[in-house]
Structure 1
Amino acid sequence: MDTAWLLDFVTLAEVNNFTRAAQIRHSSQAAFSRRIQALEAWVGAELIDRSVFPTRLTDEGSRFLEYALDISQRVSDLRADFSGRPSAWLSRIRIAAPHALATGFLPRRWQEWVRGLAALNCVINPANVHDAVTTFISGNADLLVCFHNPQQPIHLDPEQYQRLTLGVQMLRPYMSTSLHKKVRWSFPGTVEHPIPHLAYSQGAYLGRMVNLMMERANKPPYLVPHAESDMADVLRELALNGHGVAWLPDCVAHSAERHGALMCVSSDPAWELSLAVMAYRDKHNPSPALQRLWRRLSSLYEVPA
């Protein structure tokens, strides 16, 4: 067995995507797939469930992952000891986060977090909120960065998991400035002129947050469905192209490439919701990289809750 196969397998287990894993491993997808198949042949069991998307580990694959991580880390640490270079395990942070935070929040914060922390790097695994939490509690991520609202909390055992509040994001209704110049209606719309709504798919976390606002409103806005997606980034792009109004976290709205291309359509607090951004870590995770980063986060933000 080639020990590089173990690193291929660990990478695939982290990102759950053959194409992305092959890119990370600087390989063609065909060659990468052959190496995974060779590893499965050597183990004598199917490690990857290819019948679902995104791909996931089989039960045998989950069991084998523990050994693959241990072996690859030991080999990396030994090589680092011989060469004097830091190993990946000593410097890498695996982060699970919902798409909105993975694209709109983390890229802006990471540089500040690791300033002065030599050789610290990250692997960000974007997913929906449910899958991000599942990835974290299954041990396939060192850090969970997630939204938190008291009415839709993330339930993690405080005896095992420590948390920090990294900031607050406001969820507000946005539309493109170009559309605003054209329309005859104004927020919250009327029966005669309802607002084209760019909605979250059923079950999406941010969609549930929007529903909370609607439920508490004395008089809901006049909305007509126009498009939907479970990803805030997709709704932002639809809004940028003038398709309607989308409720977006500020970090997503402000990450639009064209400055000023999106505008908040209402200053009424009834149509916005405050979402805390929380970081979670397993107190028993021995990763030296995670311990270094958590100390930095603790110095930058509030005392752990």
Structure 2
Amino acid sequence: MDLNWLEDYLALAETLSFSQGAARRHVTQPAFSRRIRALEGWIGTPLFLRTTHQVALTPAGQQFHAQAEILVRALHQLRRDTLEAARKGAPPLAIAATHVLSFTFFPKWIRRNDAAARLGSLNLVSDSLQGCEQMMVRGDVTFLLCHFHPSMATRFDRRQFRSIVVGHDVMVPLSAPGSLGAPRWSLSEAAPPRYLGYSDQSGLGRILAGTWEAAGGAPALQPVFTSHLAATLLSMARSGDGLAWLPQTLAEEDIAAGLLVEAGGAEHHVPIEIRLFRPVSRQSEAAEAFWAAFA
């Protein structure tokens, strides 16, 4: 058994694409395919159904999935704990945070909690929600900080991960103002406004998609641009390129300066939570102390 086989399996189980899985694992597709076959040979049964145009998990592959995630995470945790025991100083606590929270929320949040700030060095890794989820599932980080809404899809099985609410925010449709101060692009207009949206990698995009699905459909919009970075959409909205649903904490300075105005009423607001996620299993002493500072 090779740990790389398990990590390859998880990449393929998520992407259901040999080319995308190989790219994510930074290996060639033939090497990636050989390692998947080696894992299946070691187990003794196929984990994936392969057709010309599709890859799918077999029943055995589905059964293997949850335990493979737990095993990979446990092995990485064992390595970290062993290295920690071998040296005098504890390694930095690794925290993944989505891009927007890493520079709008995280610095103030940490400074407000003296107990957490005194625990030692922290290593903050910023990425899209998709990237942060991958790090969390692999065990590369101990904590994940992200926006959350009950309607959004996540990779976090409640049997393996738990979370606490550490803040609140609201997504608001915003546009640059026109010459008379009204929004240049408005949800109240008859014609669909130009829409600056989020890509599939974005957690904020997942929140909007889930909210609109629960409401029976999205507003009439004319999509013109997508990005997983809320800061990019903020800049483009400020320049008048369209409207975007942005976290109020990110846009508050532009709103106060009159550079952005609301493009729809309160019925278009989406209240969201800021949550801290962690594995259910017990972590290092420093990690447990960090969690206790906020729980």
Task: Assess same fold via TM > 0.5.
Answer: yes
1:254 corresponding residue in structure 2: 252
Pairwise CA distance, 1:213 = 4.5
How high is the TM-score relative to the length of structure 2? 0.63
Does 2:278 match 1:267? no
In structure 1, the gaps of 5 or more residues are 1-47, 53-57, 78-86, 299-305
The partner residue of 1:231 within 221, 229, 232 is: 229
Please point out which of 73, 77, 93 is paired with 2:84: 73
The residue that corresponds to 1:289 in the other structure is 286
1:117, distance to aligned residue in structure 2 (A): 4.3
Residues 213 and 272 in structure 1, CA contact (< 8 A), matched pair in contact too? no
Alignment-mate amino acid for residue 274 of structure 1: P
Offset of residue 152 of structure 1: 1.9
Q: Do the aligned partners of residues 102 and 179 (structure 1) sit closer, same or farther apart at CA in structure 2, a change above 3 Å counting?
A: farther
Q: Can you list the C-alpha shifts for 1:105-136, whole angstroms capped at 9, x where unaligned?
A: 21221211345742533212122222212211
> How far apart are 1:190 and its partner, in Å?
1.8
For 1:248, the aligned partner's letter is L
Contact residue 188 and residue 221 of structure 1 kept, 8 A = no
TM-score by length of 1: 0.62
What CA distance in whole angstroms lies between the structure 1 residues aligned with 2:165 and 2:181? 38
Q: Residues of 1 paired with 2:116 and 2:211: CA distance? A: 41
SS in 2 for 1:156: coil
Deviation track 1:191-240 (CA, whole Å, cap 9, x = no partner) reads 2xx42211112463322333345456689644323322121121111112
Letter in 2 for 1:261: L
Which letter maps to 1:290?
A
Match of 1:49 in 2: 26
Moved more, 93-102 or 252-261: 252-261
Residue in 2 that maps onto 1:41 = none
Moved more, 135-144 or 253-262: 253-262
Distance 1:261 1:157 in 2: 41
After superposition, the CA RMSD in angstroms is: 3.7
| Structure 2 segments unaligned to the other structure (5+ residues) | 1-24, 30-34, 37-71
CA distance in 1, matches of 2:220, 2:175: 15
Query: Which residue identity does 1:289 align to in structure 2?
Result: A
Deviation larger for 177-186 or 147-156: 177-186
Partner of residue 197 from structure 1, selected from 195, 198, 213: 195
Aligned position for 1:241: 239
Aligned pair count reads 230
Judge which range, 98-107 or 207-216, deviates more. 207-216
- Identify if the C-alpha distance between structure 1 residues 202 and 180 changes in structure 2 by more than 3 Å, giving closer, same or farther: farther
Distance 1:180 1:195, change over 3 A: farther
Indicate if the aligned counterparts of 1:114 and 1:293 stay in contact, CA closer than 8 A. no
Which residue of structure 1 lines up, in the alignment, with residue 112 of structure 2?
Answer: 112
Asked whether the 8 Å contact 1:164–1:278 carries over to 2, the reply is yes
User: Aligned runs of 1:70-219 on 2, under 5 Å?
Assistant: 72-77=83-88, 87-89=89-91, 92-114=92-114, 117-154=117-154, 156-177=156-177, 181=181, 186-191=186-191, 194-202=192-200, 204-215=202-213
Change (3 A) 1:186 1:67: closer
Alpha-carbon distance between aligned partners in 1 of 2:118 and 2:102, rounded to the nearest angstrom: 22
SS at match of 1:97: strand
Q: In the alignment, residue 170 of structure 1 is paired with which amino acid?
A: V
Corresponding residue SS for 2:100: helix
